Amino acid sequence: MLGRLYPGQDCSAARTLEVVGERWSLLIVRDAMFSGMTRFTEFQRSLGIAPNVLARRLDEFVAAGIFEPRSGRHGGHTEYLLTRKGRDLRPVVVALTRWGDRWAAPDGRPVTYVHEGCGGLVTLATACTRCGDLTPADGVGTRSARDAGPGGPA
Amino acid sequence: MLGRLYPGQDCSAARTLEVVGERWSLLIVRDAMFSGMTRFTEFQRSLGIAPNVLARRLDEFVAAGIFEPRSGRHGGHTEYLLTRKGRDLRPVVVALTRWGDRWAAPDGRPVTYVHEGCGGLVTLATACTRCGDLTPADGVGTRSARDAGPGGPA
């Protein structure tokens, strides 16, 4: 299991950080997701991290079902393919990127995300199922999804 | 400066992780953002972390412009208020939550996010500016935003 647990937190964000919150983890996912990387050497070249750290992250991701290993066709090296569970992290990486584009990119955003089907730019938005798009000024709160049960507050 | 740097990465997601990628950081933001917490003791009670760790995180967040401190009205204790830069992390927390709801919540999602204006459920979606909503099956790639310049690929 991963070292970064939040046992006291009944929270899906905390659960997700337990799986992808280690240093480098989300950058490995990023490289697989948007650059099509599958091989150990590709990730290592992109990230410049110690091989033992990368090996540990990939092993943890395989154990968590984020990547599945496939015996390699290219020179026999194992390939690591994102599963559906792994691909579902796309909004996380896009959300991180959007924030960095806005608040930590003094030279402008390094890359834009593009829909491969049509070349259109990819955006991310929070929306209200009743009102439509939300602005940052719109307040968002939480409601327990467990206590309400049938007949709970609408 | 924060300890978790990715100096070789020209990537907005990496820049964001440098600011919010430390253990506990995004859970502090979560508590401020969705539960309205402002005080050291509130965060500590919610998270159960060592006071020195919490103090360091809050100091780093103030230095990074995520929170701004305000001399407290309640018993004189300092309050920590999310700035616009901090509130802009909302999609990051929501995206993490959605993934955990789907993939790491065997007992069902703990909470739902609710638009305070109308009570509607809050969703998060990636969309293409040409096609509309994207499904997980839609491929998304990257395009350099720096090299293209005027007259670059459309």
**pLDDT on residue B74:** 63
Nearest partner of A133 among B123, B51, B142, B132, judged by Cα: B123
* Per-residue pLDDT reduced to its tens digit, A85-121: 999 999 999 999 999 999 999 999 999 999 999 999 9
The reply to whether A145 falls in a domain is no
Q: Is A61 helix (H, G, I), strand (E, B) or coil?
A: helix
CATH assignment of the domain containing B117: 1.10.10.10
Contacts of A142 in chain B (CB under 8 A): 34-35, 111-114
How far is Cα A121 from Cα B98, in angstroms, rounded to an integer? 22
* Per-residue pLDDT reduced to its tens digit, B18-60: 999 999 999 999 999 999 999 999 999 999 999 999 999 999 9
**pLDDT on residue A153:** 41
Q: Which residue has the higher pLDDT, A28 or A145?
A: A28
The reply to whether B144 falls in a domain is no
**Residue B20 neighbours by CB under 8 Å, 6+ apart:** B26, B29, B66, B89, B92
The reply to whether B103 falls in a domain is yes
The reply to whether A149 falls in a domain is no
Total structural domains in chain B?
A: 1
Mean pLDDT of the A46-51 span:
95
The reply to whether A147 falls in a domain is no
B113 DSSP β-pair partners? A142
**pLDDT on residue B4:** 78
Res A2 pLDDT > 70? no
Q: Is A141 on the interface with B (CB under 8 A)?
A: yes
The reply to whether A151 falls in a domain is no
Mean pLDDT of the B13-19 span:
95
Q: Which residue in A has a C-alpha nearest to residue B66's C-alpha?
A: A103
Nearest partner of B25 among B68, B69, B59, B70, judged by Cα: B59
pLDDT band per the 50, 70, 90 thresholds, residue B154: very low
Interface-testing mutation among B2, B11, B45, B102, with chain A (most A C-beta atoms within 10 A): B11
Res B80 pLDDT > 90? yes
Q: Is A137 helix (H, G, I), strand (E, B) or coil?
A: coil
Residue with tokens 């090296």: A77
Rg (CA), chain A: 19
How much of chain A exceeds pLDDT 70, in percent? 91
The reply to whether B49 falls in a domain is yes
Give the least confident one: A60-64, B17-21, B68-72, B112-116: B68-72
> In this complex, do B47 and A8 lie within 8 Å of one another by their Cβ atoms?
yes
**pLDDT on residue B76:** 78
Nearest partner of B12 among A10, A47, A5, A93, judged by Cα: A93
The domain of B74 spans: 12-139
| A13, A84, A115: residue with CB nearest B134 | A115
Res B146 pLDDT > 90? no
Min Cα separation B1/chain A (Å)? 14
* Per-residue pLDDT reduced to its tens digit, A6-33: 988 999 999 999 999 999 999 999 999 9
A39 DSSP β-pair partners? A79
**pLDDT on residue A74:** 63
Contacts of B140 in chain A (CB under 8 A): 33-34, 90, 94, 113-116, 122
**pLDDT on residue B2:** 45
Beta carbon pairs, A and B, within 8 Å: 286
The reply to whether B32 falls in a domain is yes
Single-letter code of the amino acid located at A132: G
Res B133 pLDDT > 90? no
> In this complex, do A98 and B91 lie within 8 Å of one another by their Cβ atoms?
yes
